């Protein structure tokens, strides 16, 4: 399921894109780049041209989630002010984030479930407001089978009307002019299955 989602998001990358991949599922998208496409990965903790996890790990070189990483030739390290200057200045082409809920207005909730301990929102609030294209990758339903694509988010928002695209194991949804649109089916998913598992209202554009 995860592979299906991240393989699809990798198809959205174009050669030369400056891309920020959120922790968890989004980081795996870098493993499925289309042939001939090279992207520049930015890590919000202060790295440009971030590379894959190396065989010999350096504890001082990690991604934003604290996982071992590497830096490619020509890359650079920098402080938080420079990192968020890139993000807030609109220089990042695409950010890929996980999601807890997305609603039909393109609102995103992805940082906290009330009552659970989390370290904080992190850079997500900056990424969803400063990046040219915001893509959310997530499973279509939660562990109880409830749709994560809502009429209205019930969890605290990370950003309002900030999502451009959502990719789940069932489909690809775009947000345009205040409307949510199903633009692709994923794998063997059927339209009836998507409708049955989606609380949000959406237009069918496939």
Q: Which CATH class is domain 2-204?
A: alpha beta
Cα torsion 8, 10, 15, 20: sign: positive
Distance CA(4)–CA(75), nearest Å, equals 30
pLDDT above 90: residue 122:
no
**Is pTM, for the whole model, over 0.85?**
yes
Annotated domain spans of the chain: 2-204
Give CA separation, 22 vs 58, 88, 180, in Å.
Answer: 21, 16, 23
Mean pLDDT for 9-18 is 96
Mean pLDDT for 4-33 is 93
149-196 residue pLDDT tens: 999 999 999 999 999 999 999 999 999 998 999 999 999 999 999 999
> Residues 72, 49: contact at Cβ < 8 Å?
yes
By percentage, how much of the chain surpasses pLDDT 70?
A: 100
Give CA separation, 89 vs 40, 57, 92, 158, in Å.
Answer: 17, 32, 8, 19
Q: What's the pLDDT score for residue 189?
A: 97
pLDDT band at 54 (very low <50, low <70, confident <90, very high): confident
Annotated catalytic residues are 44
Q: What's the pLDDT score for residue 55?
A: 86
Q: Tokens 């998507």 sit at which residue? A: 194
pLDDT above 90: residue 134:
yes
Q: What's the pLDDT score for residue 96?
A: 97
Give CA separation, 30 vs 41, 53, 105, 192, in Å.
Answer: 9, 11, 28, 32
Mean pLDDT for 78-96 is 96
pLDDT band at 116 (very low <50, low <70, confident <90, very high): confident
Q: What contacts 132, CB < 8 A, 6 or more positions away?
A: 90, 92, 93, 94
Mean pLDDT for 24-45 is 90
Q: Which of the residue ranges 20-34, 90-104, 174-188 would you say has the lowest mean pLDDT?
A: 20-34
Residue 19 bridge partners (DSSP): 41, 94
Note the residue count of the chain. 206
pLDDT band at 202 (very low <50, low <70, confident <90, very high): very high
- The residue ranking higher by pLDDT, 96 or 178, is 96
């Amino acid at each position: 399921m995860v592979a299906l989602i991240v393989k699809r998001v990798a198809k959205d990358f174009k050669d030369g894109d400056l891309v920020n991949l959120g922790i968890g599922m989004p980081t795996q998208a870098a493993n499925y780049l289309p042939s001939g496409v090279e992207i520049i990965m930015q890590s919000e903790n202060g790295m440009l041209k971030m590379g894959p996890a190396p065989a010999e790990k350096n504890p001082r070189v990690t991604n934003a989630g604290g996982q071992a990483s590497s830096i490619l030739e020509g890359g650079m390290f920098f402080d938080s002010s420079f990192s968020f200057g890139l993000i807030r200045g609109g220089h990042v082409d695409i950010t890929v984030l996980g999601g807890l809920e997305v609603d039909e207005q393109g609102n995103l909730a992805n940082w906290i479930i009330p009552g659970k301990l989390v370290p904080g929102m992190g850079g997500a609030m900056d990424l969803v407001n400063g990046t040219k294209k915001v893509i959310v990758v997530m499973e279509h339903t939660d562990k109880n089978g409830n749709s994560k694509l809502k009429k209205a988010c019930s969890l605290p928002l990370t950003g309002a009307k900030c999502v451009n695209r959502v990719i789940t194991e069932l489909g690809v949804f775009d947000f345009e002019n205040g409307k949510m649109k199903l633009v692709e089916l994923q794998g063997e998913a059927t339209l009836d299955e998507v409708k049955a598992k989606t609380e949000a209202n959406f237009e069918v554009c496939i």
